[in-house]
Amino acid sequence: MRTKMQLRFALCAGLGACCASAPGQTAQTADTPLVAAKTQTQASASDEVEAAAFAIDPARASASRIVGSTALGGLESYSLDGKRRAAMPAGEAVAVATAEDARGTVLAAIDATDNRLRLFRVRGAGLEEATARKIALGFAGEGICLYRHALDGALYAFVVGDGGEIDQLILFANADGRLDARQVRRVSLPSTVKQCAADSRGHVYAAQETVGLWRFNADPEADLDATMVDSPSLGNLEGETKGVALYDGGAGRRLLLASDTDGGRINVYDRDDNDAYVGAFRAGPNGKVVGEPGPLAATSAPLPSAPHGALLVADEDDSNYKLLSIDDIASALKLPAAPSASAGAEDKRFASVVAVAESRPMDSYGDAADDPAIWADPDDPAGSLVIGTDKRAGLYVYDLQGRVKSFIASGKMNNVDLRDGFELGGEKIVLVTASNRTDKSIGIYRLDTATGELADIADGVQPTGLGDPYGLCMYRSARDGRTYVLVNGDDTRLRQWQLVATKNGKVRAELVRDLNFDSQTEGCVADDAGGSLFVDEEDVALWKLPAEPDGGDTKTAVARVADNPSLKDDLEGLGIYDLGDGRGYIVVSSQGNDSYAVFRREGGHEYLGSFAVVADPANGIDGISETDGLEVSSRNLGPGLEHGAMVAQDGRNVMPVENQNFKIVPWKAIAEALGLEMRQP
């Protein structure tokens, strides 16, 4: 059998997690202070207690309630003086958590009778069940916590299980106002996870009962970034840990509290100092100590006996819950005396929109989808098409519902672009080009707009001369009508070729110039009407330079990553929304913070704002994150997309977790979110 230390390191390796080194201070039992409870609830009617939560009344603090899960006794509600005020049948209630929404307090509970999630609304001293349907978990749930996303206000539940499951679900109201849930993702650990807690900064903490405390990202559109905070091998936990709670009280008072159940104490960590251990205390009323503290709950709301918030501790021996003042805990551990006035406040930096359609997930696993291009059908807008790259296999063609029209296994295709009206063999065609990393060439294709199929029309292999071609965009000169393709790679060069029709009905690429940057570039887009080229130097800036091959290499910075706090490298996909007459917008994917920045196309290219694409749980479409490529069109693309759309690669396709794909977002939604113009169909 492996030791706890061996298990810990195996877990760190298996999750790709960071495990903190052992803190310098170790919890000591002999001099651990006792913090007396301000009050305790009556013993539960079932003589069993699990987890509890606060139901805060913002209008009258004294009317706030404690709601506890009492196993086969269901849910019980207590006043702040500890008196039982109501009971609610809820099967075998083993966990409970609360959060606020526009209609009041939502309470989530796990019913272990048939392992399902039950959702309630707090109504005075009682509860009203609001679950829309039976929400089966598919595993034995042990604990639950709720997380409110700072960007769009979406409410998520994390359910942790006996088999190490950590299931994330998004909660939402259906058309009847009842509450439903949809699975977003699952994280698995190899042993029981007892309780979790989430904060407004986007972290969730989980108590893995026999192993230790974990922290990972609560945002499903972010990397998991699993980190072990503490464990018996790190020195501050004696053995099992059954409870975890978070207190948001401002600078110096953003605390993580964890039950060191075997040690009979509660550990405290400073979340502003990378969860550094700051001390421990024992809990108990009138000198009696809670021997094995269980699940915890904390609030920063002012209560009559705890003006800066309180902690609840489940006491299995007494079958009740102890309420401790955070001020008393802070005094015992010599923490700052008063919280900040801005406790728990988080800014919403970006507008949010939702996608209305998504492509079928890639057949290829891992980092596969990359870049899209849009062809707008002038005769039948609803028949418009999206071409998307699979950089492990080839090119897909989709309709605007995300259904696959065709696939060509042409190699590791990274970026793609198109221009219609290219003259070949006496007719005008839709010309498609893509960067092929398999043979380091430029793929050249003809799009059959009736069937959605691509045909290779390259006049033999068209080499790029680049070690690994990445980004690609096309340019149609307003001066002479010539068509060009530009490709960059891994050696900081950006190369430009003219695309020339041959007598045998093929197309070849003739090199016309080389441009050089100081570091890696990828995303690029050409403004055909303005004769300009926009290029992302990923970690540095969005650049503008002449698109004509004889235009020189003078670069002008449109925006620098270091100067705009809304940009976070890598800068990746680029698209132009055309309003006509040289007006419009440039859209850039800011990959490092899962957002999209908008700049004015004309004039000084001022920054106009950023938006993010968030989940639409009712329709089962997740948000977009870690975007590589995108395309924007102002053309009429059919019903719901009359003003155009953005198509973007989704690097983390969740709800549920699947292979990468592309999402379609109406321009109307973006324009309304940021106060932008729309082109009329």
- What is this structure's pTM? 0.89
Which of 622, 554, 553, 629 minimizes the C-alpha distance to 587?
A: 629
Q: What is the mean pLDDT of residues 231-254?
A: 90
Q: Is the pLDDT of residue 22 over 50?
A: no
Surface-to-core class of residue 184, CB atoms within 10 Å of its CB (0-12 exposed, 13-18 middle, 19+ buried): buried
Q: Is the pLDDT of residue 286 over 80?
A: no
Only one residue has tokens 């930096």, namely 349
For residue 191, count other CB atoms closer than 10 A to its CB: 13
For residue 128, count other CB atoms closer than 10 A to its CB: 11
Surface-to-core class of residue 26, CB atoms within 10 Å of its CB (0-12 exposed, 13-18 middle, 19+ buried): exposed
CA distance 653 to 623: 8
Burial letters 401-415, b for 16+ CB under 10 A, else e: ebeebbbbebbbbbb
* Domain pair 4-333 / 351-674, same fold: yes
- Residue 482: alpha-carbon gap to chain centroid: 42
> What are 20's two structure tokens?
């903190």
Q: Is the pLDDT of residue 313 over 50?
A: yes
- Omega into 347 within 30° of 0, i.e. cis? no
Q: Identify the CATH number of the domain defined by range 351-674.
A: 2.120.10.30
Q: Is the pLDDT of residue 237 over 90?
A: yes
CA distance 644 to 670: 10
* Alpha helix segments (H runs only) across 284-427: 326-333
Which amino acid belongs to residue 619?
N
Q: What are phi and psi of 673, to 5 degrees?
A: -70, -35
Q: Is the pLDDT of residue 15 over 90?
A: no
272: left (phi over 0), alpha (psi -120 to 50) or beta: alpha
CATH class (in words) of the domain with range 4-333: mainly beta
- Omega into 336 within 30° of 0, i.e. cis? no
What are the domain boundaries of the chain? 4-333, 351-674
Q: What is the mean pLDDT of residues 577-590?
A: 97
Per-residue pLDDT tens over the stretch 400-437: 999 999 999 999 999 999 999 999 999 999 999 999 99
Long-range contacts of the stretch 87-90 (C-beta < 8 A, 24+): 87/45, 88/120, 88/126, 88/127, 90/118
Mean of all residue pLDDT scores within the chain: 92
Surface-to-core class of residue 287, CB atoms within 10 Å of its CB (0-12 exposed, 13-18 middle, 19+ buried): exposed
Is the separation of the CB atoms in 509 and 499 below 8 Å?
Answer: yes
> What are 165's two structure tokens?
């499951």
Which of 99, 95, 219 minimizes the C-alpha distance to 162?
A: 95
Q: Is the pLDDT of residue 210 over 60?
A: yes
Q: Is the pLDDT of residue 312 over 50?
A: yes
Q: State the SS3 of 429-466.
A: EEEEEEEECCCCEEEEEEEECCCCEEEECECCCCECCC
